């Protein structure tokens, strides 16, 4: 069994690479240009991009979005996924590990979006569960962080709902495409919290599955 001290002696043990994360109803698969068409079907919707620093509602922008994600993957700073609903094999969104820091054993989960018909369902919660489980139990992370627009109450409530702790606000953190200056609020889950967060997520997912 790999321990924290093993990771401290050899950060290379945190082997972050494209992987399939297969859940009960959701599957996360490595993002590729093969997903372009389906991502356009669900993502070319202006309502999805209100709180992001850019929007990807046109095919041209979606193509660049995937290109940029794959470039970050090649550079080793991100692992992007397509989010697939297993019952239909349909791509319903995207998410990624980003800001990967092997030396300090932490990653960010972000760049997450889901088509509006699947919002407020189990999809986002199960995707987060799969990624957190992989981060803490396979990669050996000691911290997973998230950030969102300070005005995005839906996202802040969702992060608090999975057990993430709000840490603080980065003021004037981003300039949005429309020129608005965004404050970002940061959340995190650390390794000592994971057993409790995992149990709570499993319980909430079970309720949503049967509900």
Closest CA to 146 of 175, 184, 114: 184
pTM: 0.90
Residue 75: give its domain's CATH number: 3.40.630.30
Q: Is the pLDDT of residue 169 over 90?
A: yes
Residues 173-200: what's their mean pLDDT? 94
**Domain region containing 196:** 4-210
pLDDT at residue 116 in the model:
87
Distance from C-alpha of 185 to C-alpha of 41, rounded to nearest angstrom: 30
* Token reading at 193: 């919290």
Q: Is the pLDDT of residue 202 over 90?
A: yes
DSSP 30-66: E--GGGHHHHHHHH--GGGGTTSSS---SHHHHHHHH
Please name every residue paired with 174 in a beta bridge, in sequence order, or none if there are none. Answer: 182
Number of domains present in the structure of the chain: 1
Closest CA to 86 of 48, 29, 45: 29
Percent pLDDT > 90 in the chain is 72
* Token reading at 100: 């990967």
Distance from C-alpha of 77 to C-alpha of 80, rounded to nearest angstrom: 10
Percent pLDDT > 70 in the chain is 87
Neighbouring CB atoms inside 10 A of 10's CB total: 10
Each residue of 49-86: pLDDT tens digit? 665 655 567 889 889 999 999 999 999 999 999 999 99
Q: Is the pLDDT of residue 189 over 80?
A: yes
Please name every residue paired with 118 in a beta bridge, in sequence order, or none if there are none. Answer: none
Of 20-34, 37-51, 74-88, 120-134, minimum mean pLDDT range = 37-51
pLDDT at residue 58 in the model:
83
pLDDT at residue 207 in the model:
87
Q: Reading across the β-sheet that carries 165-175, which strands appear in turn?
A: 21-22, 26-30, 78-85, 90-101, 106-114, 143-149, 181-190, 165-175
Which pairs count as long-range contacts for 5-8, CB under 8 Å and 24+ apart, including other chains? 7/105, 7/140
Please state, in angstroms and as integers, the Cα–Cα distance from residue 165 to each residue in 27, 99, 120, 146, 210, following that order: 26, 19, 20, 10, 28
pLDDT at residue 110 in the model:
94
Per-residue confidence at 156, pLDDT binned at 50, 70, 90? very high
Closest CA to 187 of 163, 171, 167: 167
Distance from C-alpha of 130 to C-alpha of 111, rounded to nearest angstrom: 16
């Amino acid at each position: 069994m790999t321990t924290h001290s093993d990771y401290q002696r050899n950060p290379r043990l945190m082997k972050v690479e494209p992987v399939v994360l297969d859940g009960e109803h959701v599957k996360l698969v490595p993002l590729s240009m093969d997903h372009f068409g389906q991502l356009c079907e669900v993502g070319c919707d202006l309502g999805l991009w209100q709180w992001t620093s850019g929007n990807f509602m046109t095919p041209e922008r979606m193509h660049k979005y995937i290109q940029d994600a794959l470039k970050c993957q090649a550079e080793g700073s991100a692992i992007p996924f397509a989010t697939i609903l297993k019952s239909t094999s349909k791509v319903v969104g995207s998410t990624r590990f980003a800001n990967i820091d092997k030396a300090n054993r932490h990653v960010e989960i972000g760049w997450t979006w889901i088509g509006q018909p699947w919002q407020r369902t189990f999809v986002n919660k199960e995707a987060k569960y799969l990624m957190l489980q992989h981060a803490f139990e396979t990669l050996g992370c000691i911290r997973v962080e998230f950030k969102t627009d300070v005005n995005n109450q839906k996202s802040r409530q969702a992060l608090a709902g999975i057990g993430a702790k709000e840490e603080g606000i980065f003021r004037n953190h981003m300039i949005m495409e429309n020129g608005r200056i965004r404050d970002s609020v940061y959340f995190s889950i650390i390794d000592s919290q994971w057993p409790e967060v995992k149990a709570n997520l499993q319980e909430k997912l079970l309720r949503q599955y049967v509900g």
